[in-house]
Chain A
């Protein structure tokens, strides 16, 4: 049992990394990775939202939609659940850490449209994960996202001072780097 759970976690973090292997959540990955500090704040907020949203959408699907025979409404329902969770997170962050709120600012609502969050909820129903599995899968996806986001941010800080040719500076070299990182993560294939 424990082995299954740890495999699920490792699979979500490394082998099927949401950003580099499944290409979900690319907008915050490119948008918030210019500075390490913001990237870490974003990672923490996303981890919280993703885990919570994964669990909430699982509950919604199994205890609200399925009994009413409304399974086909899951995409819309999940979007609603995610929006609520993000609003809730924003309120918590604003009250508990005004500094973090100022740093994250515009990025927090961006989590609402982070396709990784919706992706996790939908994959959970597709693979018919149990509640614990859904929770762990959401947490693993968030950890994987945080891992590559922070590493990528640290790397972009270094690239920012490099003598990159004009046509490739900024987002372009970021894309190239993300591609190379994705290539490196293909090495994890087959681990789980």
Chain B
């Protein structure tokens, strides 16, 4: 007679994989709404078309590996990956950019490593970095946000931008992070006065987008999809770095802590990218180190590197370090304490 031996912990989480993934998708809604309010419908087309490509790639990979299609296709994990990638991409990206990025995320970053639960790198960020290195021009054209522009492109225009890129001609503008990176010898007050991208509160549009993602992230935290450690460590480190170098005067000092917290992909990254349970560190202490490392790298590359928003690079490098961090932050077994060495 064989008995099934089950080791602790015996507690059972109420959420299934697909439940978690659905909650994450739900939590991106405020951010997507804010993005499409400020930048137009491009992000929605990105997500819809990217999702389609993701499902096709997932089905292809699963059938090549002779795995069951239904349980893996209906766990929404491919959709979450493609949605996160498509949010990070600039709106009005041409269709081939989406195809290359999403298929690289799903096929190489996820399925080459064995599929869901094994990927050492965050698939969405792998796709983003591949695109950023290969197609820097398409990856850095952001349209003018509402508030500076009179109106933003609608749904039909976004469709045209995606599938017939040559016919689409939108007004584009450097993002606040670009401007700060490219101007090192000015007074901040002059810089703010001469560029309409800096609004009443940080970057026009970007502050709203970041606030919306913060909202979605807090919802996930409330739902206990992840623990607070990694996001808090990252945001704290980022603010601390900014605080250390910011002098309120020159544009070479790298922007205020608030500017960094509400620019680019900060909040999106902190709550939706860092918290990937597979590619981040495992223990709570490890997550603190992991988040702090990302905050430090993010600030360094933003202010000193070639890429104005470096979240994807920071996350990949930290993913790369995560197994090593885990090795040194293993929690002690309950009841054991460090005694004198035998």
Q: A183-B316, A185-B317, A190-B304 are in contact. Are A163 and B115 (CB under 8 A)?
A: yes
* Contact residues of B between 105 and 144, Cβ < 8 Å to A: 108-109, 111-115, 118, 120-121, 126, 129-130, 133
Closest beta carbon of chain A to B68's beta carbon, Å: 14
**B324: interface (CB < 8 Å):** yes
**A151: interface (CB < 8 Å):** yes
Residues of A within 8 A of B300 (CB): 191
Contact of B320 among A36, A163, A165, A184 (CB under 8 A): A184
| Interface-centre pick from B126, B300, B304, B317 (highest chain A CB count, 10 A) | B317
Closest beta carbon of chain A to B297's beta carbon, Å: 8
B 302-336 binary contact with A (CB < 8 Å = 1; else 0): 00111100101110110111011011000000000
**CB closest chain-B residue, reference A183:** B129
**CB closest chain-A residue, reference B323:** A154
Q: Within the assembled complex, what's the spacing in Å between the Cα atoms of A154 and B324?
A: 5
A191 touches B126 (CB 8 A): no
A159 touches B317 (CB 8 A): no
Q: A187-B301, A191-B301 are in contact. Are A180 and B306 (CB under 8 A)?
A: no
**A177: interface (CB < 8 Å):** yes
**B65: interface (CB < 8 Å):** yes
B323 touches A187 (CB 8 A): no
B305 touches A187 (CB 8 A): yes
**CB closest chain-A residue, reference B114:** A163
Q: Within the assembled complex, what's the spacing in Å between the Cα atoms of A32 and B305?
A: 31
Closest beta carbon of chain A to B319's beta carbon, Å: 8
Contact of B129 among A150, A165, A184 (CB under 8 A): A184
**How many A-B Cβ pairs are below 8 Å?**
88
**CB closest chain-B residue, reference A157:** B323
Residues of B within 8 A of A157 (CB): 323
Q: Within the assembled complex, what's the spacing in Å between the Cα atoms of A20 and B22?
A: 37
Q: Within the assembled complex, what's the spacing in Å between the Cα atoms of A157 and B324?
A: 10
Residues of A within 8 A of B109 (CB): 180
B112 touches A168 (CB 8 A): yes
Contacts A154-B326, A165-B114 known; 5 new A-B pairs at CB < 8 A: A158-B120, A177-B120, A183-B316, A186-B129, A191-B304
Residues of A within 8 A of B319 (CB): 184
Closest beta carbon of chain B to A166's beta carbon, Å: 9
Q: Within the assembled complex, what's the spacing in Å between the Cα atoms of A151 and B319?
A: 10
Residues of A within 8 A of B326 (CB): 154
**CB closest chain-B residue, reference A192:** B304
Residue pairs across A and B with Cβ atoms less than 8 A apart, 18 shown, are A36-B327, A151-B321, A155-B323, A155-B324, A158-B323, A164-B112, A165-B111, A183-B126, A183-B316, A184-B129, A185-B317, A186-B129, A187-B129, A187-B305, A187-B307, A187-B313, A189-B307, A190-B306
Q: Within the assembled complex, what's the spacing in Å between the Cα atoms of A174 and B130?
A: 18
Residues of A within 8 A of B310 (CB): 187
A165 touches B317 (CB 8 A): no
Residues of A within 8 A of B316 (CB): 180-181, 183-184, 187
**CB closest chain-A residue, reference B318:** A184
**CB closest chain-A residue, reference B181:** A190
